[in-house]
Structure 1
Amino acid sequence: MRDVAAENLSLGRLYEGHVNALRLIAVHGRPAQRARAEAEAARGMLFGVWGADDRTPVSASRGRLRGAKRFASGLGHVARALVTAETAEGQQLFLVAADERTRHDASAWDMAGMQDSRSGRFSCDGLAGEPLGPPGAYAEEPHFVGGTWRIAAVTLGGITGLVDRAAAALRGAGRMEAEAQLLRLAPIATRAVAAWPAIVRAG
């Protein structure tokens, strides 16, 4: 995951979401849900996990959702998504079809970076959702914190990729041996190297 993100941070973000979704389905899904997800992933379907609520938080009643998610990565690429929604029993994970383009709003992603992650707003209004696991399953440990460490691996990959590209540019300009450049890059590289064993141990 780190190595994927080092080459392409947007791709690393989508890969992490795909792995996270399949992991959650494997842990919390019913046998039929697990079998279907495995078959769909084998056919090349991309999965994602969208947890961040927009101004109108996502809620669910009688299997129908309303509200919207923000920072939904992979719009137009993710076919199946896990979304969190508030219900009378608490927070519930729902498996939803994510490929209906009328629900996508890529203009909501106004960040300068990671444009290739195809992130944006996803409308859940009227969307049918299939419950995954019991209420509260999303925050169950150790699976929840495991997801944060996978994100840490993606972030570290992005840092590593930037350092490698900066070093390559300096080397190409014949400036890599300059003390000022080494002082800029060395602390970042040292911290990145030190962070990786901690991520591996946690994972």
Structure 2
Amino acid sequence: MTVTDPASVALTEAAARARGNVAAALRLPELHPDAFPLPGSGNTWRLWTSLAVLGSVDLTVARAVEPHLDAVAILSEARAGGHLADTDSSNGDDEARWGVFAAEGPGARLVADESGPTPVLDGRKPWCSLAGSLDRALVTAWCDGSTRRLYAVRLGPTNGVAVDEAAWVARGLPDVPSGPVTFTRSEASAVGPPGWYLERPGFAWGGMGVAAIWWGGAVGVALRLREQLRRREPDQVGLMHLGAVDAALHAAESVLRGAAVAVDSGAATGPAGSALALRVRRVVAGTAEDVLERVGHALGPAPLALEEEHSGRVADLQLYVRQEHAERDAAQLGRQLLDHDTDREVLW
């Protein structure tokens, strides 16, 4: 990844100033709006490059910015489809900091009650990143026994929202607490019909945007290897690892570039878009894991033990890339390839 245009250089410098500071990170989309166009608007590669830049500088910054941008894109998609109600939960506050809470987990279930004039949410939602630092969130909740729906919710105790930040004990991304949140009769507004959140094209696009951050995070780790090998004449093993890392990062970049073209051309929708997202995320996650292993082998234990920045980058990337579900996502991709005729153009 080469960052030479003035806008990317400015974003890199701004991300460096915001390093480790969630509040400063959340201001970046407002301060650099041109860096973050909506996905599918014809500038998806620009968006993903900007996300990768953030990831290469500091994954805390990227992890704070990405859900806000995802929420903005979801609201735009809902508005374009006529699915967005004109309520104060989802309109009229351009300065609101948004999150997206859509994960499920054992022992936690969030239920929506739509029997009254205003839907209310009750229950517990896992993996709610930065819930204590945000104004609002888009949250999935069960609207019946088998279907989830997306809701816009104002966060904070005045709306019955309680954040359990003490549950977050991660060594990676320690400044991005992603613990559970309890909702008690929390007023909300529906965004899209039941099932729309998972069925819309932007669901796949957002998942690939996260992969762009993993790619950037891997670049950040790889730079430490290149720096080390420039300090002294490398041996063949060091050169081998550097060459392999470069090839892996190039492959991930090429896959992301191709996916961005597909998104902007309208080809990444429906089953094809879902399969593409799984494929892209698997390739980029594999690249990140390969980079982590090779850099670790090449550098040995000293940077992990003695360098706060490098050891933090490694821990952050190891945790972040686990948003990809590894073998389970590969199996899901295999199932989709058998169930849907999505890949007539590929040779195999």
Bin for the TM-score computed over the shorter chain: 0.7 to 0.9
Shift in CA distance, 164/121, structure 1 to aligned 2, threshold 3 Å: same
* Structure 1: gaps spanning 5 or more residues: none
Structure 1 residue 32: Cα displacement = 3.1
Structure 1 residue 75: Cα displacement = 2.8
Asked if the contact 1:18–1:48 (Cα under 8 Å) also holds between the matched residues in 2, the reply is yes
Number of the residue aligned with 1:147: 206
Aligned to 1:120, what secondary structure does the other structure show? Answer: coil
Structure 1 residue 136: Cα displacement = 0.9
Residue 76 of structure 2 is aligned to residue 20 of structure 1: no
**Higher RCO structure (Cα 8 Å, ≥6 apart):** 1
| Larger mean Cα displacement after TM superposition, 25-34 or 88-97 | 25-34
Aligned to 1:127, what secondary structure does the other structure show? Answer: strand
2:103 to 42, 49, 52: 52
Q: Distance in 2 between matches of 1:195 and 1:201?
A: 10
Number of the residue aligned with 2:329: none
Residue 247 of structure 2 is aligned to residue 190 of structure 1: yes
Q: CA offsets, 1:159-201, max 9 Å, x none?
A: 1111113333x157x2463332232333233212211122132
Number of the residue aligned with 1:202: 259
Asked if the contact 2:85–2:190 (Cα under 8 Å) also holds between the matched residues in 1, the reply is no
Residue 191 of structure 2 is aligned to residue 138 of structure 1: no
Number of the residue aligned with 2:148: 91
Q: Distance in 1 between matches of 2:88 and 2:239?
A: 50
Structural mapping, 1:59-74, within 5 Å: 59-62=111-114, 63-74=119-130
Number of the residue aligned with 1:32: 86
Structure 1 residue 127: Cα displacement = 1.4
**Which of the two has greater strand per residue?**
1
TM-score (norm 2): 0.52
* Structure 2: gaps spanning 5 or more residues: 1-50, 261-348
**Which of the two has greater helix per residue?**
2
Q: Read off the aligned partner of 2:220 and give its amino acid letter.
A: G
Q: Distance in 2 between matches of 1:20 and 1:5?
A: 16
Structure 1 residue 111: Cα displacement = 2.1
Q: CA offsets, 1:7-33, max 9 Å, x none?
A: 111211221111110111111142735
Residue 220 of structure 2 is aligned to residue 161 of structure 1: yes
Identity of aligned residues (%): 25
TM-score (norm 1): 0.86
Q: Distance in 2 between matches of 1:77 and 1:33?
A: 22
| Larger mean Cα displacement after TM superposition, 26-35 or 95-104 | 26-35
Asked if the contact 2:99–2:129 (Cα under 8 Å) also holds between the matched residues in 1, the reply is yes
Q: Distance in 2 between matches of 1:166 and 1:105?
A: 38
Q: Read off the aligned partner of 1:51 and give its amino acid letter.
A: A
Structure 1 residue 35: Cα displacement = 11
Shift in CA distance, 121/189, structure 1 to aligned 2, threshold 3 Å: farther
Shift in CA distance, 178/133, structure 1 to aligned 2, threshold 3 Å: same
Number of the residue aligned with 2:132: 76
Root mean square deviation, CA, Å: 2.5
Q: Distance in 2 between matches of 1:198 and 1:5?
A: 17
Shift in CA distance, 93/188, structure 1 to aligned 2, threshold 3 Å: same
Q: Distance in 2 between matches of 1:2 and 1:36?
A: 28
Residue 183 of structure 2 is aligned to residue 124 of structure 1: yes
